[in-house]
Amino acid sequence: MSRRIGILTGGGDCPGLNNAIKWVVKTAARYNEKLPPDRRFEVIGFRDGWAGPINYSSKYPVLPAGQDFFGGHHARILDEMVVRSWDRQGGTCIGSSRTNPFAKGSDLWMEVVRSYRELDLYCLIALGGDDTQSVTWKLHEKGLNVLTIPKTIDGDLAGTEYTLGFDTAVNVIVEEVDRLRSTAASHGRIMVVEAMGRHAGHLALAGGAAAGADVVLIPEVPFKPERVAELVKARMGGGARYCVVVAAEGALIEGKGHVSKEADGKDEFGHVLLGGVGRYLEEYLTQALGADVRSVILSHLQRGGVPSSWDRRAGRLFGIAAMDLVVEGRFGMMASMKDGRIAAGPIPAAEKNMVLVDAARAYDADRYQPALTVLRDLK
């Protein structure tokens, strides 16, 4: 009997996930070349994140390689032929969801354990961010062999220097800002670009820096609307024909908090759905400066499209590392990146176990800009 490896993607989709899945499958195949038939690995992909093992039923058996999900089927075999071109595609070919097996008052995690046992899994690999990592750790505490691969375009996951999707998302911000410059310059406008980033401003800061934004607002440093207006006015008064402001969705107004919260908008992990800082700044700057101001919410554009060259390579490296951990039997671990090299460490156990922007080192809190001093980063 082959050793079965379950794999799923949880939370929001992003480029790079398919690359990691492909290389888990390909690395398993390479190991199989040297293993006897009863010790070889078989990779099973679960449909739509944790919803896959929760809804799996023996009435709808695991689909063979080459047959896509349909009807009540929630598991399929993944082999080299199936995943051969996945690395050229964004998103996740096995689907994802924000299903929480450990939601308050829920015992759905028991269904995950049931499926794990019924399918006789050797281990389960989950690709995801804070929430997916925390769920996987809890399953590890329940006695399951689990591993994770880091994924979040926010780039704020503890235990790793890089998470899948971040580089591609930064590139999207740069591309969209570059496009907006054309119309901004043509009409002499102030453009406010709202990027993702609930608690951490890594994405907005990196995207704003790479795109050359005039003002960048991050959640770690509450902003004063009047100061933003001063900076924009100085920029326009200095002869510039247009101005670009990049703001993370979780940016806070000093003394007031988040700009807006969608009524009753919470996901299964209890996260309030944020949004509105771009529109708020558009209205504020229009009134304060009497200028032509437009706002653009990038939203899911940042998650879409094919992976960048770095996310393709990172997915490959993380996938190989995860399979190496399987072979070594080092469960309860996350394939990670430390000091620029692939490594492994314990799965981040807490939902809030995230890394925020080190504003004292990386951010100019007066000019609302990425810090100009970089030598301190070399210490």
Residues with catalytic annotation? 154
Q: How far is CA 65 from CA 2, 46, 79, 94, 238, in A?
A: 15, 13, 6, 13, 62
Q: What is the identity of the amino acid at 28?
A: A
Q: How many Cβ atoms are within 10 Å of 262's Cβ, its own excluded?
A: 11
Q: How many CB atoms lie within 10 A of CB 227?
A: 15
Task: Kindly state the tokens that stand for 228.
Answer: 């933003």
Q: Is 129 exposed, middle or buried (0-12, 13-18, 19+ CB in 10 A)?
A: buried
Contact 213, 177 (CB under 8 A): yes
The amino acid at 48:
D
Sort 70 into a burial class: Cβ within 10 Å, 0-12 / 13-18 / 19+. exposed
In degrees, rounded to 5, the angle at the alpha carbon of residue 341 between the alpha carbons of residues 329 and 358 is 115
Question: Do the Cβ atoms of 76 and 61 come closer than 8 Å?
Answer: no
Q: Which two tokens stand for residue 39?
A: 């010790």
Contacts of 282 (CB under 8 A, 6+ apart): 192, 293, 294, 295
Rounded distance between C-alpha atoms, residue 15 and residue 3, angstroms: 28
Neighbours of 176 (CB within 10 A): 20
Closest CA to 352 of 198, 240, 248: 198
What residue has token string 């995860």? 322
Q: What is the largest CA-CA distance in the chain?
A: 75
- Bridge partners for 294 per DSSP: 191
What is the C-alpha to C-alpha distance for residues 370 and 93, in angstroms, rounded to an integer? 36
